[in-house]
Structure 1
Amino acid sequence: MILVGQYDSPVTRRVAIALHHYGIPFTRDTRSIFGDAAAIGRISPLTRIPALVLDDGEVLIDSASILDHLDEQAGDAALIPRSGPQRRRVLQMTALAQGTLEKVAAVVYERHFHPPEHRSAVWLDRCLGQARAGLDELTKRLATPYACGAALTHADVMITTLIWYMQDRMDEVLSPSAHAALISLAEHCEALPSFRAAAPSDFEAMPRS
């Protein structure tokens, strides 16, 4: 398997963490969607990461779809229950974290690609408000010791990569007090072997504006 994408992308990183957690061997294609867009576009038609190239050449796109395949391979070791209320809880917590990430990323890209005079203050305020609301809701729903209870799940992976991205790129709505539980969870997860194995390298970074 070949994982396409750099680890400064939280959704690429979440796939890598799952691969390491499941003990599934893979290699990496670390070409950048900024510096090597044409090459990435030949692999992933939307020029989006992550993509996972399977051993038979099939290409999977979208982190949720990729993880669905990996979960199937992992069987009972999957980072999500097979069915029932607990599965829905993991899916909803993961969706909240991913939706929050999308709003944070919208702010990051608006500021990166548009000079100050061309930025939409209305759009930025809306996205910042949605990101704050997402963090608040995640905090309210958070269980212990992990996001959904006793076991590590995809929700923990998504929350951790979200917090890492915010601390690296845009942390103005991440409150050290109001969101302390999320930050603490992320710190705990980052110390786990599968997370450390997927730590971003210095060369894996979106260009700074």
Structure 2
Amino acid sequence: MILVGQYDSPVTRRVAIALHHYGIPFTRDTRSIFGDAAAVGKISPLTRIPALVLDDGEVLIDSAAILDHLDEQADDAALIPASGPARRLVLQMTALAQGTLEKVAAVVYERHFHSPEHRSTDWLDRCLGQARAGLDELTRRLATPYACGATLTHADVMITTLVWYMQDRMDEVLSPTAHASLITLAEHCEILPVFRATALSDFEKMPRS
């Protein structure tokens, strides 16, 4: 398998963490959607990452769809229960974290691609408010010792990669007091071997404005 994407993308990183957790061998294609957009576009038609090239050449896109495939291979070791309320809980916590990430990323890209005089303050304020609301709700729903209870799940992976991205890119709505439990969870997860295996290399960073 070949994982296409750089680890500065939280959703690429979440797929890599699952691959390591499941013990599935893979290699990496670290070409950038900024510097190598044409090449990435030949693999992923939307020029989005992550993409996972399977051993038979089939290409999977979208992190949730990729993880669905990987979870099938993992069977009982999957980072999500097979059915019922426990599965819905993991899906909802993961969706909250991913939806929050989308709002954070919208702010990051607005600031990256538009000079200050061309930025929409209404749009930025809306996205920042939505990101804050997402963090608040994640904090309210958070269990212990992991996001959904006793074991590591996809929700923990998504929350951890979200917190990392915010601390690296846009942390003004991530409160060290109001969201302390999310930060503590992320710090705990980041020291686990499968998370450490996906640490960024120096070249894997979105260009700064």
Q: TM-score range by the shorter chain?
A: over 0.9
Question: Residues of 2 paired with 1:124 and 1:49: CA distance?
Answer: 24
Match of 2:110 in 1: 110
Match of 2:136 in 1: 136
Match of 1:56 in 2: 56
Q: Number of aligned residue pairs: give it.
A: 209
How many angstroms does 1:8 deviate by?
Answer: 0.1
How many angstroms does 1:71 deviate by?
Answer: 0.1
Question: Residues of 2 paired with 1:162 and 1:52: CA distance?
Answer: 21
Does the residue aligned with 2:150 lie in a helix, a strand or coil?
coil
Question: Residues of 2 paired with 1:51 and 1:6: CA distance?
Answer: 11
- TM-score, normalised relative to structure 1: 1.00
Question: Residues of 1 paired with 2:63 and 2:196: CA distance?
Answer: 19
Does the residue aligned with 1:175 lie in a helix, a strand or coil?
coil
Match of 2:41 in 1: 41
How many angstroms does 1:138 deviate by?
Answer: 0.0
- Paired-residue identity, %: 90
Match of 2:71 in 1: 71
Amino acid in the other structure paired with 1:4: V
Question: Residues of 2 paired with 1:77 and 1:35: CA distance?
Answer: 37
Does the residue aligned with 1:28 lie in a helix, a strand or coil?
strand
Match of 2:120 in 1: 120
How many angstroms does 1:23 deviate by?
Answer: 0.3
How many angstroms does 1:200 deviate by?
Answer: 1.0
Match of 2:207 in 1: 207
Question: Residues of 2 paired with 1:85 and 1:70: CA distance?
Answer: 21
How many angstroms does 1:128 deviate by?
Answer: 0.1
Q: Which runs of 5+ in 2 are unaligned?
A: none
Q: Which runs of 5+ in 1 are unaligned?
A: none
Match of 1:17 in 2: 17
Q: Residues 68-115 of structure 1, C-alpha deviation per residue, up to 9 Å, x if partnerless?
A: 000000000000000000000000000000000000000000000000
How many angstroms does 1:47 deviate by?
Answer: 0.1
- TM-score, normalised relative to structure 2: 1.00
Query: What root-mean-square deviation, in Å, do the aligned CA atoms of Structure 1 and Structure 2 show?
Result: 0.2
Displaced runs of 4 or more, over 4 A: none
